[in-house]
Amino acid sequence: MSIPKGQYRLLATKPITAPLQTVLENSVNGGDAETFAAARFITACRGEVSWGSRAMDNCKIDLLINFEHPWMEQAKEKSYKRGEETIKKMVIEKEKILILVQVKSGSSYGEYTNDCLRIKKLAIEACHRTSHSICILWVDRDGNDVFWAYIHPRLKPSDKFYGRHHCLTPATRFDLARCMAVPNASGSGAKGLIISKITGEPKCRRKRARSVYKSGALKAVITPTLGPVQLTRLAWKHMFRAGRSVIYKERSLSLIPYLTTILSRFPDDQAIIASEYWESGNYQYRSIEHLLKYRGGQVVLGKPTKPMGCPKLNNVVVVIRLIEEIRFPKMWASKAMLSQEVMRRVVLRSAYYKPERNGNGGSEGPRSSDKTLPKATEATVA
């Protein structure tokens, strides 16, 4: 390229080389990874970030990030004066989530291949230097992507595998809210819940269950781990489809009046059993099916054998499936009004109960940890 007279190109003779990733560049690459991860995170989750000083490095807390909880909120009354008049107004305030973050990068700490994230044992051990839960942000230097993993203090140090949904996107704030959820005042599991079977003619039973299902009380159910859940025709058609077993239809029918109570409690087990990703237009879509188990419930089997006796009860496990779908722009990192373009919906897929076996309802996956098996359809505890 010819240079116009009177102008200079000082770097024209300097070769363009790929960034080095040797031990000598660890300090520079590590600092760049922290800045890159922090910028991506606060853009995706609309958060605020504070930096851990280098003096705190032995504690392995690189970033302190907080953002608004996606669904936990409370109404507060605030008053202000307008002249001599005092005006009271109800204000909705969102709860804040505070996350302690370690930023890692390079192949020593993780790798991402075939839609499977592998966080290596070395990164897990670094998290155990504190007694807190730590969110690892692993930066893929070659792919220019950021991935996350929420590590609890009691997690055993070993290589952990996670699914594609652990790539940092605007959907991450919903995932972190799920991972950080704790039992609330409503309690956990189905302990103390006694399910009575709906009696009468089949058509009458179904009509009564249908009216309860469609009632306004069931339309705004807030679950501690997934937020608002909608009860739509999707679940009704799935639970009472022609090819389904009559026994499971009866169990779903009997469980419908108790859905509000059960969903408001913290599940004993929660797992991701299927996931799907696709693109349409300028948007990305993510659909995940969650399996929730509530142990300790009881179902009435029959009438008391004695006039003043108690009815026969059988221990059961309540099983609920929910579908979560999230939509966000493909180029979300460059959107100035990202919050208005992120949409999420959670609906009921099915609900039923089954007899409890060996006191734990069978063996259908490990208990609560956010771990994903490297398979297309994953049996993942969330």
Q: Establish if 13 belongs to a structural domain.
A: no
The model's pTM is 0.83
Calpha distance 203→208 (Å, rounded)? 9
Q: What is the pLDDT of residue 345?
A: 95
Calpha distance 83→60 (Å, rounded)? 52
Q: Establish if 185 belongs to a structural domain.
A: no
Q: 3-state DSSP: the chain helix, strand, coil percent, rounded to 5?
A: 25, 40, 35
Residue 128: count of CB within 10 angstroms of its CB? 15
Q: Look up the CATH number of the domain holding residue 159.
A: 3.40.1350
Q: Give residue 235's domain range.
A: 194-381
For the CA atoms of 38, 44, 45, 50, the dihedral, rounded to the nearest 10 degrees, stands at 10
Calpha distance 246→328 (Å, rounded)? 40
Single-letter amino acid, residue 360: N
164 lies in the same domain as 198? no
Calpha distance 320→29 (Å, rounded)? 45
Using CA atoms, how far residue 370 sits from 122, 140, 334, 340, in Å, is: 18, 20, 29, 28
- Quote the radius of gyration of the chain (alpha carbons, Å): 26
The first and second tokens of residue 381, run together, are 């505890």
Q: What percent of the chain has pLDDT over 70?
A: 85
375 lies in the same domain as 252? yes
282 lies in the same domain as 338? yes
Strand ranges (E), the chain: 48-51, 63-82, 85-105, 110-113, 116-119, 134-140, 145-151, 160-162, 194-195, 221-223, 227-229, 269-280, 283-300, 313-329, 343-355, 380-381
247 lies in the same domain as 309? yes
SS (H, E, C) 58-79: HHCCCEEEEEEEEEEEEEEEEE
Q: Establish if 258 belongs to a structural domain.
A: yes
Calpha distance 297→353 (Å, rounded)? 9
pLDDT tens over the chain, length 382 residues = 677 776 777 888 888 888 888 888 888 888 899 999 999 999 999 989 998 765 445 557 889 999 999 998 776 677 777 777 777 776 777 889 999 999 999 899 999 999 999 999 999 988 887 788 999 999 999 899 999 999 998 888 899 999 999 999 999 999 999 999 887 766 788 888 888 877 777 788 888 888 888 885 566 688 999 999 999 899 999 999 999 998 999 999 999 989 988 999 999 999 999 999 999 999 999 999 999 999 988 888 655 555 555 667 889 999 999 999 999 999 999 999 999 999 999 999 999 999 987 644 443 333 444 444 333 333 333 3
Q: Establish if 12 belongs to a structural domain.
A: no
Calpha distance 160→175 (Å, rounded)? 17
Q: Establish if 145 belongs to a structural domain.
A: yes
Q: Establish if 141 belongs to a structural domain.
A: yes
262 lies in the same domain as 338? yes
Using CA atoms, how far residue 144 sits from 53, 182, 349, in Å, is: 25, 33, 36
The 8-class DSSP code of residue 102 comes to E
163 lies in the same domain as 273? no
CB 310 within 8 A of CB 284: no
CA 22 and chain centroid, separation = 36
The 8-class DSSP code of residue 4 comes to P
Q: What is the pLDDT of residue 41?
A: 95
165 lies in the same domain as 235? no
Q: Establish if 64 belongs to a structural domain.
A: yes
The 8-class DSSP code of residue 167 comes to B
372 lies in the same domain as 265? yes
Structural domain count, the chain: 2
212 lies in the same domain as 269? yes
Q: What are phi and psi of 358, to 5 degrees?
A: 55, 25
236 lies in the same domain as 282? yes
213 lies in the same domain as 77? no
Q: What is the pLDDT of residue 373?
A: 38
Q: What is the pLDDT of residue 65?
A: 93
Q: Establish if 188 belongs to a structural domain.
A: no
Calpha distance 64→56 (Å, rounded)? 12
234 lies in the same domain as 367? yes
CB 168 within 8 A of CB 145: yes
Q: What is the pLDDT of residue 200?
A: 72
CB 133 within 8 A of CB 151: yes
> Which among 148, 179, 210 is the end of a domain?
179
Q: What is the pLDDT of residue 308?
A: 54
CB 356 within 8 A of CB 295: yes
CA 90 and chain centroid, separation = 30
> Which among 179, 211, 229 is the end of a domain?
179
Q: What is the pLDDT of residues 67-95, one digit of tens each?
A: 999 998 776 677 777 777 777 776 777 88
CB 225 within 8 A of CB 270: yes
